[in-house]
Amino acid sequence: MPRIETALTRLLGIEHPIFTAPMSGIAGGALANAVSHAGGLGIIGPGADAAAIRREVAAAGNARVAIGFIAWRLERNPSALAVALEAGPAAVMLSFGAPAPFCARIKAAGCMIICQVQSVAMAQEALDAGADILIAQGRDAGGHSGNVRGTIGLVPAVVDIAGSVPVVAAGGIADGRGLAAALALGAAGVSMGTRFTATRESLWSDARKAAVTGGHGDQTVQTRIYDTLNDPDWPRMFPARMLRNPTYERWEHNEADLEAVAETERTRFQATPPEDLSQRMVLAGEAVDLIHDVPSARYVVERIVAEAILVLRGGAALVRD
Ligand X SMILES: Cc1cc2nc3c(=O)[nH]c(=O)nc-3n(C[C@H](O)[C@H](O)[C@H](O)COP(=O)(O)O)c2cc1C
Q: Per CB under 6 A, which region of 28-36, 72-80, 121-129, 138-146 contacts ligand X?
A: 138-146
Confirm or reject binding of residue 189 to ligand X (CB under 6 A).
no
Alpha-carbon torsion 224, 120, 193, 313, what sign?
A: positive
Please say whether the beta carbons of 209 and 299 come within 8 A: no
Q: Contacts with ligand X: how many residues (CB under 6 A)?
A: 29
Q: In the set 17, 28, 166, 172, which binds ligand X (CB under 6 A)?
A: 172
Confirm or reject binding of residue 223 to ligand X (CB under 6 A).
no
d(CA 4, CA 18): 10
DSSP state of 93: E
Confirm or reject binding of residue 111 to ligand X (CB under 6 A).
no
Confirm or reject binding of residue 41 to ligand X (CB under 6 A).
no
Q: In the set 63, 283, 304, 308, which binds ligand X (CB under 6 A)?
A: 283
Confirm or reject binding of residue 171 to ligand X (CB under 6 A).
yes
d(CA 229, CA 221): 15
DSSP state of 283: B
**14 or 242, CB closer to ligand X?**
242
Q: In the set 40, 176, 193, 215, which binds ligand X (CB under 6 A)?
A: 193
Confirm or reject binding of residue 197 to ligand X (CB under 6 A).
yes
Q: In the set 84, 179, 180, 287, which binds ligand X (CB under 6 A)?
A: 287
Confirm or reject binding of residue 192 to ligand X (CB under 6 A).
yes
* Residue 4 burial (CB count, 10 A): 21
Confirm or reject binding of residue 46 to ligand X (CB under 6 A).
no
Confirm or reject binding of residue 89 to ligand X (CB under 6 A).
no
Please state, in angstroms and as integers, the Cα–Cα distance from residue 157 to each residue in 65, 124, 136, 152, 261, following that order.
28, 11, 9, 9, 41
Alpha-carbon torsion 21, 26, 28, 34, what sign?
A: negative
- CB of residue 29 vs ligand X: minimum separation in angstroms? 15
Please say whether the beta carbons of 139 and 116 come within 8 A: no
Taking alpha carbons only, the member of 68, 66, 121 closest to residue 94 is: 68
Q: Is 43 helix (H, G, I), strand (E, B) or coil?
A: strand
Confirm or reject binding of residue 194 to ligand X (CB under 6 A).
yes
**17 or 68, CB closer to ligand X?**
68
Confirm or reject binding of residue 239 to ligand X (CB under 6 A).
no
Confirm or reject binding of residue 141 to ligand X (CB under 6 A).
yes
List the Cα angle 174/176/181 in 5-degree steps.
Answer: 90
Query: Rule CB under 6 A: which residues touch ligand X?
Result: 21-24, 26, 45, 68, 70, 95, 116, 137, 140-143, 170-173, 191-195, 197, 283-285, 287
